[in-house]
Structure 1
Amino acid sequence: MYIPRAIEKTVSAMLGQGKVVLVTGPRQVGKTTMLKQRFSDGFGYVTMEDPFVFSQATADSVLFFETHALPLIIDEVQRVPQLFSSVKWIVDKSSEKGQVILTGSQTYHLMKGVSESLAGRVRILEMPALSLREFVDDPASLRKYVPRKVDAADMPCAPEGFDLWRHIHRGSLPELQQSDIEWDAFYSDYVRTYLERDVRDLIAIKDEAKFYRFMVACAARSGQLFNASAIGNAIDVDGKTVKAWTSVLQASGIVRIVEPFWPNIEKRLTKASKLYFMDTGLVCHLTRWTTTDQLRNGAVAGQMFETFVVSEVLKSYMNAGANLHDVWFYRDARKHEIDLVIQDGRTLHPVEIKSSALVDKKAVKNFSCLDAMPDYEVGFGHVICQTPEPYFVTPNVQAVPVWAI
């Protein structure tokens, strides 16, 4: 059964703002399904995975558009780079907006084609996997997550029988929401396809087994400060290679890097960032937490809960087409940390993430670190935890369940 996607309305809005809309995102997040469900009545559809269509486009990209009328969805467009210049030529002949939707799963190749041919003509959206909000809330709601006072009566409830830890363990890729899909076999195929297609296309890798070990090392460190040397030592490669391979994981949407907030912009660039996987099911597969109970009761439960919450926050921004650079974390020289700092203009909202259900004032003791930030105000804060209902920790901080994201 198709689950309506929150990003649908954002794509529709972008079609009215630019001549071309580009929808990127990792494999298997549902880009093609979403576009077919939402836009099949008004748009034609072709995919560069089709050998016949691929040969048409590569043989003569101009003639390709004479045989495929606009408006048109072109799937996996990065496979035929010459199409970008032809798209530019065809959309420049008309002032009409929203005539072409492009999709692809390799951000690096897509952005290269966009920057060379479609600058100023394209609106870009990155589609994540299913969000928790899409299970329990109205997907037409495109609110990016900013901490605010939450009333239990207005908050969506978990579906009957919903097990949060099973959801975290199983992952958020749409196909896995079918209960008959075998979890470990699915991810084994997913990783193999990723290594054989995306990784080979992005870098000339000679040792896929070592890249796999690199993915495992990164998965084990999801939610931690990114340390290229430590990862390199674990898999016997140099730090430069780790950074290059990490950029591959970023370009294909597997991980996100969250930067530290600092009022001096130049100093932000010198501080360590954090690495988060966008799908907790993939993390569990790579690190071999193979059952829900192992994960729920295991040593990494807190780390995995944090990875899940941060990915859900980032999904809310991606689905709304909002700026991901408004999501930070805080860590100072005295190692005072705040899990997330949500920037809303000149207001900073502190967020702590705890896997427990009950938290007290100790959980938010570092929030006061933001008081000294020049030119910023400190806004309402959250502690995202496993409480079933929201409650106040301090007058300006609420403990809230993940449903409040």
Structure 2
Amino acid sequence: MIENREAGSYNSTMISRRLENAIRKSLEFSPAVGIVGPRQSGKTTLARMIARNYGKPVIHLDLENPQDVIKLDHPQIYLQQYIDHIVILDEAQRKPELFPLLRYMIDQDRRPGRFLILGSASPALKRQASESLAGRIIYHELSPFSLDEMQQNGWDTIKRLWMRGGYPQSYLAKTDEQASVWMRNFIQTHLEKDMPALGVRVPATTLYRFWTMLAHCHGQLWNSSRLAESMGVDPKSARRYLDILEETFMIRQLQPFFSNLKKRLVKSPKVYIRDSGLLHSLLNISSYDDLCTNPVLGESWEGFCIEQVLAIKPPEYNAYFYRTRSAVAAEIDLVLAKGVNVEIALEIKYSLTPKLTKSSINAINTLKPKKTWVIYPGDDSYPIKENIWTLPIAQIEKIFSNS
């Protein structure tokens, strides 16, 4: 759960996080559990709540706190004092040399629920985990709030989550203006402080310009040459910038689905700003009225809906988009497959009277999904054709309940 506390006020809103039960179950059999995700997504609050109710004493070390870092000058001596505790290591990527020690301590005593490791998923954190804790840790990704975590899913809630995004301090802000200020500060802090702390040596102004350009290309195919030329850098640098933002959960690369290698298929990923609030902030869209008159409206809705679907997607499904380059155009926004078998196709429309385009119908006829949903902002689910139904965004859990 998340509590929203603001200076001079208290908002008693409590929002349960979807991952809470899964993390608890992992702690029951794994000696180490990791919670990774973007900064300010609620990792620390969730970890403390889980640990508090876990039935063991808790020691919390924040590796951004100099006093806690000093405690780990001799980490083995310090941590051995708390062998019967659950140890929370917050922002663990800041001290990667701890991972070999954690491996040793776990191998000496593999009792479940010893360490809860939080991190912003830097390359260093991933590398150390793969080298040192393979087979000893289960990772969970905590994203900002999603619609299924809201206590209500009426249009006011949907609109607020879409406009402000899911970061707790933005979504729970008293006003849109406060939310906008928070998002601008988040972007600045991420570029000027978080990135250097993760070992990124790209100037903040360069990454900000690149991030903003990506926002203008939200939902479009990745074109490294075009962005590199606009930035005045080489395509390899543009690719590196893209990977940096992906590894810190700021953007998503949605890969294309290849069902038939003989077809002329698009091979580049589509790129989305993962949090819709950050997208709007980067584009200087400060209100819902501004969004409704902005050319990015449809792409913003598409990216928002994709994130809501992926938030509840069972792990056995892989997500893609589908598009051909052939004379007979075929395109679908989101394909959910098990292996090479397409189970579900999703088209996303910001319209109260959604209709499938010819290219969408061509894609459906080619892919032959078991069911196709057209996600839209309306209230009713009704059939368009055989195995093709409209689906209100408030009812997206139906995607997987009947599959």
Q: Give yes or no for the alignment of 1:198 onto 2:189.
A: no
| 1:51 alignment partner in structure 2 | 66
| 2:394 alignment partner in structure 1 | 403
Q: Match for 1:209 among 189, 205, 213?
A: 205
| 1:29 alignment partner in structure 2 | 41
| 2:322 alignment partner in structure 1 | 330
**Separation in 2 of the partners of 1:88 and 1:265?**
43
**Are the counterparts in 2 of residues 352 and 363 from structure 1 also a CA contact under 8 Å?**
no
| 1:150 alignment partner in structure 2 | none
Shift of 1:267: 9.6
**Are the counterparts in 1 of residues 250 and 273 from structure 2 also a CA contact under 8 Å?**
yes
Q: Give yes or no for the alignment of 1:383 onto 2:374.
A: yes
The one-letter code of the counterpart of 2:381 is: P
With the length of structure 2 as denominator, give the TM-score of the two structures.
Answer: 0.86
| 2:20 alignment partner in structure 1 | 8
Q: Give yes or no for the alignment of 1:166 onto 2:181.
A: no
Counterparts in 2 of 1:84 and 1:265: CA distance versus 1, 3 Å:
farther
Paired residue secondary structure (1:378):
coil
Shift of 1:166: 3.4
Counterparts in 2 of 1:192 and 1:20: CA distance versus 1, 3 Å:
same
Q: Match for 1:189 among 185, 191, 196?
A: 185
Paired residue secondary structure (1:233):
helix
| 1:39 alignment partner in structure 2 | 51
**Separation in 2 of the partners of 1:269 and 1:394?**
26
Deviations 1:265-324 (A, max 9, x none): 89999811011111111011111112210102322110110010111122223xx6x25x
The one-letter code of the counterpart of 1:9 is: N
**Are the counterparts in 2 of residues 347 and 378 from structure 1 also a CA contact under 8 Å?**
yes
Matches within 5 A, 1:268-347: 271-317=267-313, 322=315, 326-334=318-326, 335-344=329-338, 346-347=341-342
The one-letter code of the counterpart of 1:52 is: Q
The one-letter code of the counterpart of 1:366 is: S
5+ residue gaps, structure 1: 137-156
| 2:400 alignment partner in structure 1 | none
Q: Match for 2:351 among 336, 351, 356?
A: 356
Shift of 1:49: 1.9
Matches within 5 A, 1:143-154: none
| 1:227 alignment partner in structure 2 | 223
| 2:250 alignment partner in structure 1 | 254
More relative contact order, 1 or 2 (CA 8 Å, 6+ apart)? 1
Deviations 1:172-203 (A, max 9, x none): 10112333361222112101110122322345
5+ residue gaps, structure 2: 1-12, 397-403
Deviations 1:322-356 (A, max 9, x none): 25x70000011224210000114534311100000
| 1:19 alignment partner in structure 2 | 31
With the length of structure 1 as denominator, give the TM-score of the two structures.
Answer: 0.86
Shift of 1:67: 3.2
Counterparts in 2 of 1:333 and 1:192: CA distance versus 1, 3 Å:
same
Deviations 1:129-178 (A, max 9, x none): 00011114xxxxxxxxxxxxxxxxxxxx634x725333312111011233
What is the number of equivalent residue pairs in this alignment? 375
Counterparts in 2 of 1:266 and 1:46: CA distance versus 1, 3 Å:
farther
Paired residue secondary structure (2:88):
strand
**Are the counterparts in 1 of residues 51 and 86 from structure 2 also a CA contact under 8 Å?**
no
Shift of 1:255: 0.8
Pairwise CA RMSD:
2.4
The one-letter code of the counterpart of 1:326 is: N
User: Runs of at least 4 residues of structure 1 off by over 4 A?
Assistant: 264-270, 370-373
Shift of 1:386: 1.2
Paired residue secondary structure (1:162):
helix
Counterparts in 2 of 1:18 and 1:234: CA distance versus 1, 3 Å:
same
Q: Match for 2:146 among 131, 135, 157?
A: 131
**Are the counterparts in 2 of residues 259 and 268 from structure 1 also a CA contact under 8 Å?**
no
Higher strand share: 2
| 2:6 alignment partner in structure 1 | none
